[in-house]
């Protein structure tokens, strides 16, 4: 397939998958919806409980009085601390839960409402009373942890100051002793050292008092957790939506895969993209409205402008031959309408004349009878019909022999347009019939013939050096116009039937 054809095929693939493979999508959506409903019903109800905590800036914690950066970052860090292992472990002890409880390991969420110093600690679980206890336990453990950290910092700073005070007191006592009992010339210096030590001692004691009075209030629980509210309705709805969307995606993938794998010809544009001339489109609305008369006229015009009688036109299908017979019969009748002598040659033994025991093509091939003597008149001398004959199946095996070529040669003597409804071109007998013709019209059945079959048929004709006049794009059941069909279903009609 050429690059342009491939691009056009990809462009219509999604549309064709939706149009022709919709049962796959519907089935997948139904299954996905059923699975979503089943999962939502099997999922136990869940409850959410939230404890609201007001936190104070506190030394030793991310959110401190000396904070100089972004307060929001500090508060978000505090929210992360809520789910840390030490606090979860302490909360488990308070609530009487195991430390490995999924309630505390995966059901906890801490958030910071905008422009506040508040943490919302939420717990999700299957027991509405248990989630409330867990939320309160987490809040309590978190506040106790903040307070313990602040007290540790205060105690550490106080101990360091105590050591400095002791060292300064020793230095002061030593300087005072030297100022009183030391050498006379050094006493003045020792008094100054003692005065300095005294000042340092005063400052250290004042700082120690300030440190020991540092606030260690971590905050408080402003709204204790209430008994958990049901939160599973949204989850069930999400499961249902996931089932529907999942089924839709799986169905669409299956439809695309199926459509791509079959590679059916859906529109004439796909044939045009392959570089194949479309002689007539019998699938469009206009064609259906006129029962295919307008496409027959266009094909007739192409035939008359391209070839002159005597000429053999093989109507070969790429997949199924039923439409070939109807199209060949319609073209022969359409040319006879314009007083062009036409012969319709059938290879299908199921047609009426053959099933009634009329001799035809098979007798001409097998018994070497003159085919011109076996022609059945349809309308005067303008339109004749050579049935498939009594042994049509056996005759097909001889299409590859000179016997069939000789029959075609004899028919040429009638100096008419000979429309041969040949077997599918990819079959051996169809290939031989096409090789015996002057031109070939390939029949492509919408939604039945594949692109691979079309390409194989055109390649075969090119190898055999048979001229391909173009393709006819037809529906699964091709009907010729009623005024043409009446000529074949009744007695010989008056010539006025042939006038337009």
Mean pLDDT of the chain: 80
Domain boundary among 217, 246, 262: 262
Q: Could you read off the pLDDT of 4-20 as tens digits, one per residue?
A: 444 455 556 666 667 67
Residue 55: enclosing H or E segment and its boundaries?
strand 47-55
Using CA atoms, how far apart are residues 97 and 423, in angstroms rounded to an integer?
82
CA distances from 122 to 89, 95, 115 (A): 17, 15, 19
Using CA atoms, how far apart are residues 482 and 297, in angstroms rounded to an integer?
15
Is residue 171 located within the same domain as residue 209?
yes
pLDDT of residue 344: 93
**What percent of the chain has a predicted confidence (pLDDT) above 70?**
80
pLDDT of residue 86: 83
Q: Is 364 helix (H, G, I), strand (E, B) or coil?
A: helix
For the chain, the 3-state helix, strand and coil shares in percent, each to the nearest 5, are: 55, 15, 30
Which comes out higher in pLDDT, residue 256 or 151?
151
Give whichever of 29-33, 52-56, 382-386, 488-492 has the largest mean pLDDT: 382-386
Confidence of residue 498 (pLDDT cuts 50, 70, 90): very low
Domains contained in the chain, number:
3
Confidence of residue 341 (pLDDT cuts 50, 70, 90): very high
Is residue 155 located within the same domain as residue 208?
yes
By C-alpha distance, which of 53, 78, 79, 95 is closest to 223?
53
Is residue 430 located within the same domain as residue 485?
yes
β-bridge pairing 439-445 and 311-317: parallel
Which comes out higher in pLDDT, residue 258 or 434?
434
Is residue 18 located within the same domain as residue 113?
no
Q: Could you read off the pLDDT of 171-219 as tens digits, one per residue?
A: 878 878 877 877 777 778 888 888 888 888 888 888 888 877 777 777 8
By C-alpha distance, which of 180, 200, 202 is closest to 190?
180
Q: What is the CATH number of the domain that holds 320?
A: 3.40.50.300
Q: Could you read off the pLDDT of 247-302 as tens digits, one per residue?
A: 888 877 777 776 665 678 888 888 888 889 999 998 876 555 555 688 888 999 99
Is residue 287 located within the same domain as residue 381?
yes
Is residue 278 located within the same domain as residue 175?
no
Q: Does the pLDDT at position 80 exceed 70?
A: yes
Confidence of residue 420 (pLDDT cuts 50, 70, 90): very high
Burial class, 186, CB count within 10 angstroms (exposed 0-12 / middle 13-18 / buried 19+): exposed
Is residue 38 located within the same domain as residue 53?
no
Residue 414: partners with Cβ closer than 8 Å, 6 or more residues away:
310, 341, 343, 372, 375, 384
pLDDT of residue 497: 37
Q: Could you read off the pLDDT of 209-238 as tens digits, one per residue?
A: 887 777 777 788 888 877 755 555 666 677
What's the rounded mean pLDDT across residues 36-59?
Answer: 76
Domain boundary among 176, 210, 230: 230
Cα angle, residue 384 at apex, residues 397 and 281 outer, rounded to 5°: 80
CA distances from 29 to 18, 124, 252, 277 (A): 13, 31, 9, 40
Q: Could you read off the pLDDT of 298-338 as tens digits, one per residue?
A: 999 999 999 998 999 999 988 866 678 888 988 999 999 88
CA distances from 72 to 118, 169, 223 (A): 11, 45, 21
What's the rounded mean pLDDT across residues 395-421?
Answer: 89
Is residue 209 located within the same domain as residue 106?
yes
Asked if 339 and 413 count as a contact pair (C-beta separation under 8 A), the reply is no
Give whichever of 67-81, 97-111, 422-436 has the largest mean pLDDT: 422-436
Q: Does the pLDDT at position 373 exceed 70?
A: yes
Is residue 255 located within the same domain as residue 303?
no
Q: What is the CATH number of the domain that holds 168?
A: 3.30.1890
Strands across the sheet containing 342-346: 278-281, 467-474, 439-445, 311-317, 417-421, 342-346, 383-386, 376-379
Is residue 22 located within the same domain as residue 56?
no
Could you give the dihedral angle defined by the CA atoms of residues 462, 466, 468 and 469, in that order, rounded to the nearest 10 degrees? 160
Asked if 37 and 240 count as a contact pair (C-beta separation under 8 A), the reply is yes
pLDDT of residue 462: 92
User: Considering only 162-176, 184-198, 365-379, which range has the smallest mean pLDDT?
Assistant: 184-198
User: Considering only 97-101, 131-135, 345-349, 377-381, which range has the smallest mean pLDDT?
Assistant: 97-101
Domain boundary among 262, 283, 304: 262
Using CA atoms, how far apart are residues 254 and 25, in angstroms rounded to an integer?
8
Q: Does the pLDDT at position 67 exceed 80?
A: no
Using CA atoms, how far apart are residues 492 and 58, in angstroms rounded to an integer?
112
Q: Does the pLDDT at position 367 exceed 80?
A: yes
Confidence of residue 500 (pLDDT cuts 50, 70, 90): very low
pLDDT of residue 465: 92
pLDDT of residue 153: 82
pLDDT of residue 114: 82
Show the domain range for 307: 268-498
Is residue 242 located within the same domain as residue 352?
no
| CB atoms inside a 10 Å sphere around CB 119 | 26
- Report field, pTM of the whole predicted structure over 0.75: no
pLDDT of residue 496: 37
User: Considering only 66-75, 306-315, 362-371, 442-451, which range has the smallest mean pLDDT?
Assistant: 66-75
Give whichever of 342-346, 445-449, 495-499 has the largest mean pLDDT: 342-346
Q: Which two tokens stand for residue 287?
A: 């064609």
Is residue 157 located within the same domain as residue 273?
no
Using CA atoms, how far apart are residues 442 and 453, in angstroms rounded to an integer?
11
User: Considering only 155-164, 226-235, 386-395, which range has the smallest mean pLDDT?
Assistant: 226-235
């Amino acid at each position: 397939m050429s690059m342009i054809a491939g691009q056009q095929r990809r462009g219509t693939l999604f549309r064709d998958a939706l149009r022709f493979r919709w049962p796959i999508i519907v089935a997948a959506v139904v299954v996905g919806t059923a699975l979503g409903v089943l999962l939502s019903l099997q999922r136990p109800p869940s409850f959410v409980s939230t404890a609201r905590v007001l936190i104070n800036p506190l030394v030793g914690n991310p959110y401190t009085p000396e904070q100089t950066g972004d307060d929001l970052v500090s508060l978000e860090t505090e929210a992360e601390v809520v789910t840390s292992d030490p606090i979860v472990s302490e909360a488990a002890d308070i609530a009487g839960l195991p430390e490995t409880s999924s309630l505390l390991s995966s059901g906890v969420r801490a958030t910071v409402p905008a422009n506040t110093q508040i943490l919302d600690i939420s717990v999700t679980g299957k027991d509405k009373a248990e989630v409330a206890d867990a939320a309160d336990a987490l809040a309590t453990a978190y506040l106790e942890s903040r307070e313990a950290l602040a007290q540790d910092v205060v105690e550490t700073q106080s101990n360091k100051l105590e050591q400095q005070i002791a060292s300064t007191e020793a230095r002061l006592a030593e300087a005072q002793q030297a100022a009183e009992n030391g050498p006379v010339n050094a006493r003045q210096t020792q008094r100054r050292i003692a005065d300095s030590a005294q000042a340092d001692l005063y400052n250290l004691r004042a700082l120690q008092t300030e440190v020991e009075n540092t606030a260690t209030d971590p905050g408080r629980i402003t709204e204790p957790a209430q008994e958990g509210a049901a939160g599973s309705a949204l989850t069930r709805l999400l499961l249902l939506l996931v089932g529907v969307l999942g089924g839709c995606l799986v169905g669409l993938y299956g439809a695309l895969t199926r459509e791509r794998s079959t590679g059916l010809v859906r529109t004439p544009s796909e044939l045009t993209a392959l570089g194949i001339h479309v002689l007539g489109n019998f699938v469009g609305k206009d064609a259906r409205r006129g029962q295919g008369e307008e496409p027959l006229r266009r094909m007739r015009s192409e035939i008359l402008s391209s070839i002159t009688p005597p000429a053999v036109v093989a109507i070969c299908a790429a997949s199924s031959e039923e439409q070939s017979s109807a199209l060949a019969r319609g073209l022969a009748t359409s040319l006879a309408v314009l007083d062009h002598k036409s012969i319709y040659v059938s290879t299908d033994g199921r047609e009426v004349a053959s099933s009634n025991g009329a001799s035809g093509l098979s007798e001409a091939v097998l018994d070497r009878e003159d085919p011109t003597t076996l022609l059945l008149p349809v309308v005067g001398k303008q339109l004749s019909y050579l049935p498939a004959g009594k042994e049509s199946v056996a005759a097909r095996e001889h299409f590859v022999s000179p016997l069939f070529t000789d029959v075609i040669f004899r028919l040429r003597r009638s100096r008419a347009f000979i429309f041969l409804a040949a077997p599918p071109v990819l079959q051996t007998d169809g290939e031989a019939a096409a090789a015996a013709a002057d031109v070939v019209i390939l029949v492509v059945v919408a939604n039945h013939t594949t692109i691979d079959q079309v390409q194989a048929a055109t390649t075969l004709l090119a190898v055999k050096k048979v001229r391909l006049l173009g393709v006819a794009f037809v529906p699964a059941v091709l009907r010729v116009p009623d005024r043409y069909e009446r000529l074949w279903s009744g007695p010989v009609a008056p010539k006025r039937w042939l006038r337009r």
